[in-house]
Chains A and B, each alone.
Chain A
Amino acid sequence: MAAAGAALAPGIENRLLSPPNAGRIRCSSSAVPARGALVVRGAALSEESRKNRSSALKAVAVKGEAPNLTTAKSGHEILLFDALREGLEEEMARDPTVCVIGEDVGHYGGSYKVTKGLAEKFGDLRVLDTPICENSFTGMGIGAAMTGLRTVVEGMNMGFLLLAYNQISNNAGMLHYTSGGQFKIPIVIRGPGGVGKQLGAEHSQRLESYFQSVPGLQMVACSTPYNAKGLMKAAIRSDNPVILYEHVLLYNLKERIPDEEYVLCLEEAELVRPGKDVTILTYSRMRHFVLQAAKTLVERGYDPEIIDIRSLKPFDLFTIGNSIKKTHKVLIVEECMRTGGIGASLRAAIVDNFWDFLDGRPECLSSQDVPTPYAATLEDATVVQPAQIVVKVEQMCQGLV
C-alpha cells in the first residue's frame, strides 16, 4: 500500500493548524472508475488504491468496453453540495414523481444550495417552498409518499426534524408494517447535521443516534461528492424510507466524479484504505479526520484499514466482518455522543457477530455527552480530533488497551 511518507489524501488541511477558513476541507481526486464504465456498483475504492489499478478494476463491477487508460483524466470536478444537486436533478428529470419539499428549497435555491436552480427547471409544485412547520410538511411528504409520489423532504438543519419525530418514526418507519404491507413510503429525508463551526448546541445535533432504533427506517451518511451523488440517487430510487445524513462542514468538499451515471448501493460500506493492523470504522466528517490521522500513522509505520461504513442502518457487517477477521482490532470513530450513538450499536453488533476474531474489546471514539458549546476551544474538545485517533491506534497496536 502507500509507502511511508506518500501523500494519503493530498490537500486535506489540518483544521487545527491552518488559519480558520470557515471549515473548508478540500480533498482532491478520488475514485474514478475506468472509462467506459456505465454503471459502477459495489464498494468504491478511493485514490490510494489507484496505485493497484488492476486489482481495483477487478474489485469494481464494470460494464461496457475495456478501459482506455491512455486518455487524460475523465469526469468532472465538483463540490459536494453540487454533487447532491446533480443526483437530485438527474432523478427528477428521470422520474416525474420525484419532488422536493422543504424550507427555502425553491426560490431561494436551498440554504446550502443543494436545490439551486431546480425550481426554475421543474416548477414550484415539484420544488415546494414550505412555511416553517417541520411536523406538518414532513407529514405531508409522508402522506404524498403513501400515494406513490417520491418525496425528498429537506430539513434545513437535521436538528429541526426533531419536531417531526412522530411523523418520521410512526408514519414513515412503521406504516409499511402496520398496514400489513399495503403502503410503501418511498420518502427520502435529508439535511445537514453534525457539529459545525460554532453553531451552538441546538444546531449541532447528530440525529442518527435518535432515529437508529426506529424500525423500518434506513439510514445512510455521505462523506464525499462521489458517494453523496450515488447515495442520493439510490435513496430516491429505494422504496423504503431513507434518511440521508449530510454534514454542514462537508458541503464544499471538492472531488472529481464520473461523467457517467452511477448509483451506489445503500447498504454497502466503502473501503477507503486497505490495511492490516487495525480496522477503523467511521462515517461522515470523521472519515476525513481519520484519513488525516492515518497520514501520521503511516509515517510512524502503522497500516490502518479504513472503512467508511456509509450505511448506518443496517450496518454492512459483511465488509466490516471481513476486515475484522483480517486485523483483529477495531476502532470506531464517530461524531455521535457516547451514549446511544451509532458507535454504541456498532460495538454491540461487532461483539455479537465477531467476538471470536477480536484480540481486544472494540474501541470507540465519540463526542462527549454534552450539549455542543459555542466557544471554539470547547467545541473542538467536544468532538474527536485526529490527534486522539493517532494516540488510540498506537495504544491499540501496542497492546496498551
Chain B
Amino acid sequence: MARWRQRLLSSACSSSSSSAAAPQALLRLASSALSRQSSSRGFAAAPDDTTPFVVDIPVPYAGHRCDPPEQRVETSAKELVDFFKVMYVMRRMEIAADSLYKAKFIRGFCHLYDGQEAVCVGMEAALTKEDAIITAYRDHCTHIGRGGTVLEVMAELMGRKSGCSLGKGGSMHMYNKEGNFYGGNGIVGAQTALGAGLAFAQKYNKQNAVSLALYGDGAANQGQLFEAMNISALWDLPVIFVCENNHYGMGTAEWRSAKSPEYYKRGDYVPGLKIDGMDVLAVKQGVRFAKEHALTKGPIVLEMDTYRYHGHSMSDPGSTYRTREEISGVRQERDPIERVRKLLLAKEIVTVADLKNLEKQAKAEVDEAVNQAKEGGQPETHELFTHVHVKGLKQLAYGPDRKEVIVPLP
C-alpha cells in the first residue's frame, strides 16, 4: 500500500523513477531545448507566437495491444499560454464553487474537478467541435472546455435561470448542444452506453468525428461499460473510452475496488493507452493518437492517471481515506498548472509578472461571473412544467397541492 501511494506521487507508469524526478527532468529538457533553439531563433518567443516547437513528454506512455505514440509533442507558445489561462480559470472556478457551497449558495451535490484540469484541456487541444464528449457528474470544467462560460456554470450551480440548463439541472446536469457536449450524467457508468450511441450516430451519418465517453475509476467496474465496449468493438464505432483515474471511487481506493486497477487494459480486446493525466501536453498527444485510432481501427480505451485535490464531493472532506501529505505531495510534484508555468518560464515565453497578470485576470473573470450569477433570478414557477415534453401534448399539469398552479403543457 505504501508503494501504491508512492506511485501516486511519482506519477511514473513504471516503478523505477523516484518521486522528484518528473519536474526536474522537465526543466532540464526544457532548458536544453531552449539552449538549442535560442541560437536559431534569437530571443525567447512571444506569448502569441504560433511557431511550433517540440516538447518531450517525461512520463512514458503504456500501451495495451497498441504501440504508444511518440514521447514528444508539438506545441506553440500561444497554445501553452492558452493552456495556462484556461486551466487557471477552471481552477479558480472550482475554488469559488467550494466557497459558494460552504456559504450555501450551492446546494445538493457538488463534485469539483481541481487537479484534473489537464485532462479536459489537453483533450480539447486534440479535438474539434464536431467531436462529441460525454462525461459523468464531475463536469463543470468539461463544460467550459466545450465552449461554456463560467457565468452559465455558476448560475446553474446556484439554480438560477441564467444557468446552462435554466437552473433545472444543477451541478450534475450541464449540457452544451452547440459544443457537442452531452452532459453531465448523475448515474455512474450510464454515460458510457450513451457515448456508444453518440459514436453510432456519427458512424450512421458518416461524420469524420469521434465520441469520447469519460468515466472514472469507480465506474470502470460497471457492467454496462463492458457492454458498451463490446458493442463498440463489434461495430467499429468511433468511440474513445476515457477513464479519468483519480485513484479513488469516492472513498474507496482503486486497489480496494478493482481486481485489476490497470484500467487501460480492462478493455481486453479493445486496445488501451495509459497517459499521465497531469501533463496537458501528454494528454493532447494521447488523445490525438486515440482519435486517429478510433477513426481508422475502432474503439480505444485511454486511462488518464490524474488526481483530485478535493474530496469526491463537497460533503466528503477527502481526508478520511487518504493523507494530507499525499494530497499536498501530488500538488507539489505533479500539479498540472505548475507544470505549464515552469515550462512557460523555462522557455521565457512569459515573465513571472506576466503570469501574475494572467492569474489576476482569471480571478477577476471568475469573481465577475460569480457576482453576475448571484444577481440572476430564480426560475419562474411555470418553468416547473416546461421542457418535460417537447410539444404536441394535451395535458393539464398541477402544482404539488393540485390547486395552486394549473398549467396546460405546451
Which residues from chain B contact A215 at a C-beta distance below 8 Å?
A: 388
Q: Is A240 in the interface zone, CB < 8 Å from B?
A: yes
Q: Which of A136, A167, A180 contacts B169 (CB 8 A)?
A: A180
Q: Are B388 and A176 in contact (CB under 8 A)?
A: yes
Given contacts A135-B223, A170-B187, contact A146 B182 (CB under 8 A): yes
Which residues of B in the span 206-234 have a Cβ within 8 Å of any Cβ on A?
223-224, 227-228, 230-231, 234
- A183 at interface (Cβ–Cβ under 8 A)? yes
Mark the stretch among B10-18, B115-123, B348-356, B391-399 that contacts chain A: B391-399
- Contact partners of B187 in chain A: CB under 8 A: 166, 170
Which residue in chain B gives the minimum CB-CB distance to A99? B204
CB-CB under 8 A from A184, the residues of chain B are 390
CB within 8 Å for A267 and B223 given contacts A141-B197, A143-B196? no
Give the chain A neighbours of B202 by CB distance below 8 A. 147
A180 touching B166 by the CB < 8 A rule? yes
Q: Is A142 an interface residue (CB 8 A)?
A: yes
Which residue of B has the minimal Cβ distance to A135? B224
Complex-state Cα separation, A318 to B396, whole angstroms: 11
A139–B224 touching, CB < 8 Å:
yes
User: Interface digits, B177-216 against A, CB 8 Å rule (1 contact, 0 not)?
Assistant: 1000011111100101111111011111100000000000
Is B190 in contact with A139, judged by CB distance below 8 angstroms?
Answer: yes
A131-B234 contact, Cβ under 8 Å, with A177-B168, A180-B163: yes
CA distance A176 to B409 in the complex (A): 14
Whether B204 pairs with A149 at a CB distance below 8 angstroms is yes
Is A130 at the interface (CB under 8 A from chain B)?
Answer: yes
Interface residues of A in 124-141 (CB under 8 A from B): 125-126, 128, 130-131, 133, 135-141
CA separation between A215 and B389, bound complex, in Å?
9
Please give, as numbers and ranges, the residues of chain B lying within 8 Å of A177 by CB-CB distance: 168, 387-388
Number of chain A residues whose Cβ lies closer than 8 Å to a Cβ of chain B: 48
Contact A136 B193, beta carbon cutoff 8 Å: yes
Known: A140-B231, A143-B134, A143-B196. A240 touches B393 (CB 8 A): yes
Q: Is A178 an interface residue (CB 8 A)?
A: yes
User: Does A109 touch B at the CB level, under 8 Å?
Assistant: no
Contact assessment for B175 and A314 in the assembled complex, using a CB-CB cutoff below 8 Å? no
Q: Identify the interface centre among B205, B231, B235, B389: most chain A CB within 10 Å of its CB.
A: B389
Q: Does B402 contact A (CB under 8 A)?
A: yes
Complex CA–CA separation, A138 to B193 (angstroms): 8
CA distance A266 to B169 in the complex (A): 28
Q: Which residues of B contact A136 (CB under 8 A)?
A: 192-193, 196, 224, 227-228, 231
| A239 interface hit (Cβ, 8 Å) | yes
A171 at the interface (CB under 8 A from B): yes
Cβ–Cβ contact A143 & B177, under 8 A: no
Q: How many chain-B residues does the 8 Å CB contact rule pick out?
A: 54
List chain B residues, Cβ under 8 A from A141.
197
Is A144 within 8 A of B198, CB to CB? yes
Supposing A149-B204, A267-B394, A314-B395 touch, asked if A140 and B194 sit within 8 A by C-beta, the answer is yes
Chain A positions within 8 Å of B166 at CB level: 180-181
Question: Could you say which residues of chain B place their CB within 8 Å of the CB of A23?
Answer: none
| B175 close to A167 (CB less than 8 A) | no
Query: Chain A nearest CB: distance from B157 CB in Å?
Result: 14
- In the complex, what residues of A have CB within 8 A of residue B175's CB? 178-180, 182-183
Task: For the complex, give the distance between the alpha carbons of A99 and B201 in Å.
Answer: 10
Contact with B along A43-57 (1 / 0, CB 8 A): 000000000000000
Closest-by-CB residue of B relative to A175 is B183
Any chain A CB within 8 A of the CB of B386? yes
- Residue interface mask B266-308, A partner, CB < 8 A = 1: 0000000000000000000000000000000000000000000
Residue B142 is within 8 A (CB to CB) of chain A in the complex: no
Closest to B182 in A: A146
B:152-183 near A, CB below 8 Å: 163-170, 173, 175-177, 182-183
Nearest CB of chain A from residue B202's CB, rounded to whole Å:
8
On whether A171 and B190 interact (CB within 8 A), knowing A136-B196, A139-B228, A147-B198, the answer reads yes
Whether A140 pairs with B165 at a CB distance below 8 angstroms is no
Whether B168 and A178, one on each chain, are in contact in the complex, defined by CB atoms closer than 8 angstroms, is yes
10 A-B Cβ contacts within 8 A? A99-B204, A131-B227, A142-B194, A142-B197, A143-B134, A143-B194, A147-B197, A170-B185, A178-B169, A218-B393
Given contacts A176-B387, A180-B166, 20 further A-B contacts (CB under 8 A): A125-B204, A128-B235, A133-B230, A140-B200, A140-B228, A143-B196, A143-B197, A143-B200, A144-B200, A147-B205, A167-B193, A171-B185, A177-B168, A178-B168, A179-B175, A179-B177, A180-B167, A180-B168, A215-B388, A266-B392
